[in-house]
Structure formats: structure tokens, C-alpha cells
Amino acid sequence: MTVRFRKSSIWLVLVLSCLAGCGNDRSVTPETPATSGNSKSTVGKPLIVTTVGMVTDIVREVVGERGEVLGLLSEGVDPHLYKPTREDVKQLTEADVIFYGGLLLEGRMEETLKKLKSSKPAVGVAESLDQTVLRKPPEFDGHFDPHVWMDVKLWNQCVSAVAKTMADFAPDHAAEFQSRAAAYQQKLDKLDDYVRTSIQSIPEGQRVLVTAHDAFGYFARAYGMEVKSVQGISTESEAGVADVNALVDFLVEHKIGAIFVESSVSDKSLKAVIEGAAKRDWTVKIGGELFSDAMGEAGTYEGTYIGMIDHNATTITRALGGQAPEGGFRSTVEKP
């Protein structure tokens, strides 16, 4: 499965988008506070623009009331395929600070984000990690796997990168940023323990995670699972007949009875896998829907990073024969 990554100029994409009218402006609404000419929001706070929800969530945890955080990509949006709109470019240009995933996660926005580094803090949080801890799958054409948030310990380190950037940007509030980051990181430590314990309760022979695209490599490495997918790391790759057949062979041979759909990725290929297994007299069920490149609906528990990972770990554990508390991770921590 070879990943095809587009390397044409992002500026040409943006120009064409503007000429086309940019009808896909759902991530910025008229109610969103406008920014003034000096890049400050109308509420007198610095404007901090983020991309995917996982980044947005940890930035909000660190920043608190010291900034206005605007996330560009809403739930269910695939960052690999997302085309930036006129409003996206405007908000990025007027932002005081920008945080994004990095490692080519935001494929069609990558060049724009990097160009802005010369005029303001623009940080790819995953790019703050030591490269020795990053996955570099051979099928990703020499690039690192950007799905770092699937390993809670690594994402915990990205929180530190956010705190450092904000402390450098607003040194008067550095202590507050560091304190908020430390408190949140303690929660992530507990979440990491929960995920590891839950996954280890799955019978060893069933610790196989089968999904639509390869977003769970870090998860599998960190928590002791084997991961299989019908597509590559980027959803710009396409699954062929050979990919589907190979996965069917694996499921039948290893007697794996559950596979998982993703909230931001089409389930077309997985349906083909289920049908293929049925023709081989092996029943494969959908074990549940997982959050991979996007979190759950805004305002819900699953719409937070902790809720997203809790949901994934708990769903995977139960579907593959492990034991997870009735209320998941949330039931194991103290109530506020």
C-alpha cells in the first residue's frame, strides 16, 4: 500500500479555492470573533489558531482564559484530505500563535503553515518530539507517522511543547501555563495507565486491531497490540482488491471476529472485508466506531482528547474479549 502525497504548491490550491468561491466555510461562522489589524481578538486576548481537535483540546487546557483558541477543523473532518478555505487562511494569517499536528498530518495546509513560521510562533506539536520515538513505516514514503496522539505518553510530551511556546509568547503568564499543563499531564498519566491495563486484559491471541486506515500504529506499539488496516497511513491512499483479500486471509486464519470503523473515514473498504470473510464462512462483526483523525462531537466527553482515547480503549477492549469498567476511564477517576 503506497501512500501518495501531493506536493504541488499549496498557494495554487488556495488561489483556486478563492476563485471557486470557497463554499466549504463550515469551520468559521459569522459568530466567530473577528480579529483586528494588530492580530488581537475582539475580546482583548491573543488569538491562537489550531487545526485538528486533538491539538485544539490540549491547547485550551494549557491556555485557559489567557487566550482565544480557535480550532479550524470540526469533528468528523479528515485532516489528510481537508482543503483550507478563505476563512482558514484569514484566521491563520491574523493569528498570534498557531498550533498544528505536523509531520504532514495537515497535508494540504502544510506549506501554508510552514510559511507562517517566519512571522509568528507556528508549532507542529508532534515535531517537538525526538525523532527516535517517531514511527517511520516503509509504506509512508520516507515520512514519519503523524498519528502521535494515539500514544498517550507521547501526546503528554506535546502538552509540554504547547506550554513552552505559550510561556515564550506571554512570559508574564508563564507560571500559569506551566501549572495548567502539569495538572493536565497528571490526568494523562492516569489515562495511559488505564489504556494499558484495559488492553492487557484482552486474550493475547485476540490483541489485533483492524481498522480502515493505519492511524493506530502508535497505539498498537504503546499498548501491545498488532494493527492491521486496509488502507495506508494517509486516507489519500486507496485500498485495492489485493489489500482487501490479504486482510480477509488474515482474519480467517487468525480467527479474528471484530474490526472497527472510524468516525472520519469511509467504511466502504471494511464492508468489502466483511463480505469477503463471509464468503469464506467466517463471521466478522463491527466491534464499534473509533475516533482516529478527529474527536467526537464538540461539547461531548468524546469531543475531548481524554474522552476520545477513553472511548477507543474501552470499545476495543470490550469488543476483543477484555475487561473494562462500565463507565470506562471516567468511572475510575475522582469526580469533580
Average pLDDT value for residue range 90-101: 97
H or E element that contains 226: strand 226-229
Which of 3-7, 155-159, 224-228, 268-272 holds the top average pLDDT?
155-159
269 falls in which pLDDT band (50, 70, 90)?
A: confident
Lowest mean pLDDT among 47-51, 60-64, 145-149, 234-238: 234-238
Q: Which stretches of the chain are DSSP H helices?
A: 10-19, 53-63, 86-94, 110-115, 152-169, 174-200, 217-223, 241-254, 268-279, 305-319
Distance CA 223, CA 200 (A): 8
**Residues 14-24: tens digit of each pLDDT:** 333 333 333 33
Write down the domain spans for the chain. 10-193, 202-332
Range of weakest confidence among 56-60, 62-66, 141-145, 273-277: 141-145
Phi-psi region of 126 (alpha: psi -120 to 50; beta: other; left: phi over 0): alpha
Q: How confident is the model at residue 315 (pLDDT cuts 50, 70, 90)?
A: very high
**pLDDT: is 101 or 272 the higher one?**
101
List residues bridging with 122 in a β-sheet.
Answer: 98
Give percent above pLDDT 90 in the chain. Answer: 64
Of 65, 59, 17, 14, which Cα lies nearest the Cα of 43? 65
CA 271/CA 268 separation, integer angstroms: 5
Looking at residue 44, what is its pLDDT? 83
26 C-beta neighbours (distance < 10 Å), count: 11
pLDDT at res. 242: 83
In terms of average pLDDT, the best of 25-34, 114-123, 137-146, 230-239 is 114-123
Please give the torsion angle defined by the CA atoms of residues 26, 20, 48 and 219, in that order, rounded to the nearest 10 degrees.
Answer: 70
pLDDT tens digits, 60-85: 999 999 999 999 998 878 888 888 89
Q: Which CATH number fits domain 10-193: 3.40.630.40, 3.40.50.300, 3.40.50.1980, 3.40.50.2300?
A: 3.40.50.1980
Question: What is the pLDDT of the chain when averaged over all its residues?
Answer: 84
Cell numbers at 66, concatenated: 489567557
Instruction: State the Cα–Cα distance between residues 254 and 2, nearest whole angstrom.
Output: 25
What is the rounded distance in angstroms from the CA atom of residue 148 to the CA atom of residue 294? 13
In this model, does residue 89 exceed pLDDT 50? yes
Q: How far apart are CA 51 and CA 72, in angstroms?
A: 5
Q: Report which listed range, 79-88, 135-144, 152-161, is most confident.
A: 152-161
202-332: which CATH number, 3.40.50.300, 3.40.640.10, 2.40.50.140, 3.40.50.1980?
Answer: 3.40.50.1980
pLDDT given at position 270:
86
* Residue tagged 473532518 (cell numbers): 77
Give the integer Cα–Cα distance in Å for 194 and 257: 24
Domains 10-193 and 202-332 share a fold: yes
**Alpha-carbon span 145 to 284, nearest angstrom:** 28
The reported pTM is 0.82
**CA dist 175 to 18, 62, 120, 167, 183, Å?**
42, 11, 22, 8, 12
